[in-house]
Amino acid sequence: MELARLPLRRVAWRLAEGIDQTLIVLLVSLSMLGLAALFSAAYQNPARLVSQLGNLGVAVVAMWCVAQIPPQTLMRFAVPAYAVALGLLVAVALFGDVVNGARRWLNVGVGRFQPSEMMKLALPLMLAWYFHRNESTLRLRNFAIAALLLAVPVALILRQPDLGTAALVAAAGFFVIFFAGISWKVLGGLALAFLVSLFPMWGMLHDYQRRRVLTLLDPTQDPLGAGYHIIQSTIAVGSGGVSGKGWLNGTQAHLEFIPERDTDFIFAVYSEEFGLVGNIVLLVLYALLIGRGLVIAANAATVFSRLLAGSVSLMFFTYAFVNMGMVSGILPVVGVPLPFLSYGGTALLTLFLGAGILMSVNRHRTLVQT
């Protein structure tokens, strides 16, 4: 007994090594809330729950694997990952499958996947690697090259068109550039240039993208069309009140008034059933998660690891803020899932890989300094 128990405990200990306790508690909490909301959104259909549990399992294993890899090793993946992701994006543009009018998917025989999802991590990896390599000789020129590295995949994703993913990828890349220390003047100039470029960009947007932006300004103009999502999800949130309607009691969600209620709009289901109290709990959990990530970044050993950790942390923020903002009607409807809560394997994988990176960075912060 004793003999049998000892190696088992040791194995468990060994496995838990590198898993950040704070992060894992937060992730488990968020995932539990997600499963609860999903169970409600999926009409208490256990199949959906089982499927998401499977996704979670895969994602957690992936996170664990990444957490074991030191950042130096991760750095080696930066260029190939970026190159492959970019190549796949080009392939999508040429041979991708069109679903719902957007060319986002690449058929790889066994199934389809979205290379743009891969870019969410490949781009910050690449940029962090790039800044790390040019650490000592950082000039404006480097920022220009970084901007180019960012712009090419973002432009490809925008062309698909996929506004939500493009925004997420661009944000992930931008955070690296921001943390790399781009000067405030340049940043101000870029912000100005961005505002100015909004006008020609407006012309480049697809009709449905423009409609989404316009209906955000006044959703009631098209209550059964483009404004429908926003109106219905706002009703769901608002009708939740302080304490919510109670788990499984959300009428908006259960009556199919909420479109995509188990994926991008799961927050409407959650918010309707758990109310303001539930929302605050969720915000606090996210704030703690992001905060923990930023602390890890602040304490990171290398430029690469701190930039990557900072970017990943803010990626969580971007997901959460954009999704909740969109469901509650202050941001346009873009395809951004609620991190760790929305149904879907790909998003979960990306997010948990991000968490794995944070853990890796945290675990190996001292190893390098010596």
Partner 1 sequence: MGAAELRNREQELAQFQLRIGIAAAIVLAAFALLAARFFFLQVVQHEVYRAKAEENRIAIVPVTPNRGLIVDRNGAVIARNYSGYTLEIFPGRVESVERTIDELAALIEIQPRDRARFRKLLQETRNAESLPIRTRLSDEEVAKFAANRFRYQGVEIKARLFRQYPYGEVASHVIGYMGRVNQEDQERFAAEGNDANYRGTDTIGKWGVEASYEQELHGTTGFEQVEIDAAGRGIRTLSRTAPVSGNDVTLTLDIRLQRVAEAALGERRGALVAIEPSTGGVLALVSKPGFDPNLFVDGIDPQYWAELNSSPDKPLNNRAISGLYPPGSTFKPFMALAALQLGKRTARYSFVDPGYFYFGGRRFRDSKPGGHGTVDLHKSIVVSSDVYYYQLANDMGIEAIAGFMRHFGFGSLTGIELAGEAAGVLPSPEWKMKRFRRPADQRWYPGETISIGIGQGYNSYTPIQLALATATLANGGTMYKPRLVAHVDRPRGGGRRYVEPVVAHKAPVRADYVELVKRAMADVNKEGTGARAFAGAQYTSGGKTGTAQVIAIKQNEKYDESKVAERLRDHSLFIAFAPVESPRIALAVIVENGGFGARAAAPIARTVLDYFLLGKLPAGMGAAAEDDYAGREGND
Question: Peptide bond preceding 161: is omega within 30 degrees of 0, i.e. cis?
Answer: yes
Q: Cβ of residue 191: shortest distance to partner 1, in angstroms?
A: 14
Task: Work out how close the CB of 219 gets to partner 1 at its nearest, in angstroms, rounded to a whole number.
Answer: 13
Instruction: Give 152 or 186: the residue with its C-beta nearer to partner 1.
Output: 186
Does position 291 interact with partner 1 (CB under 8 A)? The reply is yes
Secondary structure E strands in the chain: 97-99, 102-107, 112-113
129 scored as a contact of partner 1 (CB under 8 A): no
Minimum gap (Å) between residue 320 Cβ and partner 1: 8
Query: Of 310, 335, 337, 356, which one interacts with partner 1 (CB under 8 A)?
Result: 310
> Which residues ranging from 131 to 160 are in contact with partner 1 (CB under 8 A)?
136
φ/ψ of 92, rounded to 5, equals -60, -45
Residues 6 or more apart whose CB falls under 8 angstroms from that of 144 comprise none
The correct pick among 62, 152, 294, 368 for binding partner 1 (CB under 8 A) is 294
CA 186 to chain centre: 27
CB of 83 to partner 1, least distance (A): 27
Per-residue contact flags (x/-) with partner 1 for residues 178 to 217, judged by CB under 8 A? xx-x------------------------------------
Q: Are strands 97-99 and 102-107 parallel, antiparallel or unpaired?
A: antiparallel
From the CB of 211, what's the least distance to partner 1, in Å? Answer: 14
Give yes or no for residue 302 binding partner 1 (CB under 8 A): no
Question: In whole angstroms, how close is the CB of 114 to partner 1 at the nearest point?
Answer: 23
* β 102-107/112-113 pair status: antiparallel
- Retrieve residue 161's tokens: 């068109």
Q: Which stretch binds partner 1 (CB under 8 A): 21-29, 94-102, 150-158, 307-315?
A: 307-315
**Closest CB to partner 1 among 227 and 275?**
275
Instruction: Pick the piece of the chain touching partner 1 (CB under 8 A) from 74-82, 166-174, 302-310, 354-362.
Output: 302-310
Q: Please report, to the nearest 10 degrees, the dihedral formed by the alpha carbons of residues 34, 40, 46, 50 taken in order.
A: -10
Could you say which residues in the range 223-282 bind partner 1, by CB under 8 A?
Answer: 232, 234-242, 251-252, 255-257, 259, 271, 275-276, 279-280
Give the residue from 311, 352, 279, 363 showing the smallest Cα distance to 56.
352
Cα distance from N-terminal residue to C-terminal residue, the chain: 41
Closest contact distance (angstroms) between CB of 308 and partner 1 is: 12
Identify the CA nearest to 304 among candidates 79, 147, 125: 125
Q: How far apart are CA 296 and CA 285, in angstroms?
A: 16
Q: Could you tell me which of 86, 8, 113 has the C-alpha nearest to residue 349?
A: 113
Helix pair angle (140-159, 184-204), 10° resolution: 20
Q: How far apart are CA 316 and CA 261, in angstroms?
A: 20
Q: Which is nearer to partner 1, 81 or 364 (CB)?
A: 364
Mask for 1-40, x = binds partner 1 (CB under 8 A): ----------------------------------------
- Contact criterion met (CB below 8 Å) for 272 and 239: yes
Binding site for partner 1 (CB under 8 A): 136, 175, 178-179, 181, 232, 234-242, 251-252, 255-257, 259, 271, 275-276, 279-280, 283, 286-287, 290-291, 294, 297-298, 303, 306, 310, 313-314, 317, 321, 324-325, 328-330
